[in-house]
Amino acid sequence: MAKSKKLIMGLGIGIFLAVMIIFTIYPILYAVIGSFKTNSELTAGGNFLPQNGWHIENYYKAFIEADFTKYAINSVVISISCMLIAVITSSLAGYVFARREFVGKKFIMSLYVGLMFIALGSVTLYPIYDMLSKFGLNKSIIGLILALTGGQASNVLLVMGFVKSLPKELDEAAIIDGCSVYGIFFRVIMPLIKPILAVVALFTFRNSWNDYVTTMVMSISIPKLKTLTVAVVQLKYSMNAAAEWHIMLAGASIAIMPILIVYFFANKQFIAGLTAGAVKG
């Protein structure tokens, strides 16, 4: 009886996971396979696989005619820059909050935690744009990178929780050896928090790569700042929108691939960071 219950439970879990996997993977497969179809075949529907041959020229049109090469370069530069800034700032801030005492620490922490539960969304776009305008950064890629990087509240709290799980004796031993505050961080702490930094890096890369609203607002007057995500969506509203669904799917496939590649190569560090943070923090 117990074995049959376990078997039924295992079968139910397996079916549930299979359904979830199908619902997750199907849209990606549809976009990738649809990018090789003709526009008439896409609009007609019916067949999952291309029936009139695989049209690789759709990608040529996306890269050359729709100028997606330039937008892809923008996306790569912006996403990698945001990722590096997030890793550096959140690791330093998380270490300071976890190990150092200073005036206003509790107040700043309260603001960090409180703002995580307030979804301001697009309301903050105008203040951010206005602030960047005053510094002359509203028409540069640097301003867009700073706008996308943000305050990193959740990342700082992740790093802080991870650092708190490390024994303080490590810091004391480093001080005895003559290390300064920066020496302790870069030589002792940073090598030990690599798993959680991998989580921060992947989340930030994904968010900045997939961002649409902030990038669209920042690039309205500067088309050269468009990213791949904005370019794909705006293709829908272009002059040939009614006849360009195959190009849109080709662009969407191009936008999907980097995220999948990054996760494929970094999934071990990502899972290690999440599980280590769950156990230690």
pLDDT along the chain (281 residues), means of 10: 74 87 84 79 74 78 75 89 91 88 84 71 78 84 86 83 85 83 86 86 87 83 82 66 69 79 72 56 42
Q: Are 92 and 84 in contact (CB under 8 A)?
A: no
The whole domain housing 267 covers 66-245+254-280
Q: Are 159 and 197 in contact (CB under 8 A)?
A: yes
Distance CA(261)–CA(156), nearest Å, equals 26
CA distances from 110 to 115, 153, 157, 164, 277 (A): 8, 11, 11, 17, 21
Asked if the structure places residue 31 within a domain, the reply is no
Asked if the structure places residue 208 within a domain, the reply is yes
- The pLDDT of residue 190 is 86
Q: Which residue has the tokens 């802080």?
A: 160
- The pLDDT of residue 82 is 92
- The pLDDT of residue 240 is 55
What b/e readout covers 133-166, taking b as 16+ CB neighbours within 10 angstroms?
A: eeeebbbebebbbbbbbbebbbbbbbbbbbbeeb
CATH number (domain holding residue 130): 1.10.3720.10
Asked if the structure places residue 30 within a domain, the reply is no
Which of 80, 105, 79, 104 minimizes the C-alpha distance to 94? Answer: 105
Which of 113, 92, 80 minimizes the C-alpha distance to 201? Answer: 80
Asked if the structure places residue 76 within a domain, the reply is yes
- The pLDDT of residue 279 is 47
- The pLDDT of residue 210 is 85
Distance CA(148)–CA(227), nearest Å, equals 12
Which of 198, 175, 195 minimizes the C-alpha distance to 185? Answer: 175
Say how many domains are in the chain. Answer: 1
Query: Whole-prediction pTM value?
Result: 0.79
Asked if the structure places residue 19 within a domain, the reply is no
Asked if the structure places residue 55 within a domain, the reply is no
Asked if the structure places residue 143 within a domain, the reply is yes
Q: Which residue has the tokens 């005895």?
A: 176
Asked if the structure places residue 108 within a domain, the reply is yes
